[in-house]
Amino acid sequence: MAYSISKMEEKEPHMFQSRCKKALSAAMLVHCFMNIGGRVTFSRAKQSNYALKVLIGKQVVINDVTYTQEDMCAAACTFANKMKALIREARSNKRKEIRVDKQCLKAINTELPNEIPKTPKSTITLCRNREAAFSNFIAYILVQHGFAFNITLTTIKESTSVMHFYVWDAITDNNGITLSTLDNTEPLINFIRNVTSLISHKKSILSINDISKTPSAFSPADISLYQVLFRDEKSVSKKTNGK
């Protein structure tokens, strides 16, 4: 299914524009995470015909360390609280955007309390918290690996009921290569489509593995080269999609 941002915005411009920006930002994070050797077990969800899917992982592995949703939430809360401090300082200096890297986050007081959101009362709020926790956790990991992020502050509105989902404008790796949601929109949409097409078994946990062996998400990719882990209660077997 081909997605067009303009068509998605025709139905509910504000709602779907915001949703698409989140989806592109999350895809950019996941792509960078996989390129440094990370693996993600994705959650399955219904796919909208109008809005891009916001990628969300149930579990990730990086440097042989496995992180569960609880682990990701704890780290994401630490990251979000440091982001709040950075944003408050930037706004007090009338800045409209900031660049976030390991050095500036490290300078924030590590004794800040982790304000973990209370258990949500609605399914929608629960979903939003999980999306934000996953996205913020991946950003936290990437920062530790030398990545830097650019974000516009004018549209950020913090909430006390849900964790804030930071929508990044651009990500720069430690080699100086920059990806942006504006300049790389179509490749990011294709990346989302490649991932969502692999999440096709309702009761299976799917994870994309060995991303370094696949073509770049920013060039035409052969989906059959993605390796998928199919898991059930009795066994774990490997299968390459399309083979």
- CA–CA dist 132, 130 (Å, integer): 5
Average pLDDT score, the chain:
75
For residue 65, pLDDT beyond 70? yes
- CA–CA dist 243, 237 (Å, integer): 14
pLDDT in tens, 101-132: 999 998 887 555 555 555 545 545 567 788 99
Residue type, 229: L
For 18, the enclosing helix (H) or strand (E) is helix 13-35
Give the Å distances, CA to CA, from 85 to 1, 42, 131, 132: 41, 31, 21, 18
Query: How sure is the predictor about 198, in pLDDT bands with cuts at 50, 70 and 90?
Result: confident
pTM of the full predicted structure? 0.75
Contact call for residues 215 and 224 (beta carbons, < 8 A): no
Give the pLDDT of residue 68.
Answer: 93
Closest C-alpha among 184, 221, 230, 176 to residue 203: 230
pLDDT in tens, 34-57: 889 888 988 666 666 667 889 999
- CA–CA dist 155, 152 (Å, integer): 7
**Which tokens is 105 given?**
């986050």
Query: How sure is the predictor about 172, in pLDDT bands with cuts at 50, 70 and 90?
Result: very high
Q: From the DSSP assignment, how many helices (H) and strands (E) are in the chain?
A: 6, 10
pLDDT in tens, 3-30: 444 444 444 444 568 889 999 999 999 9
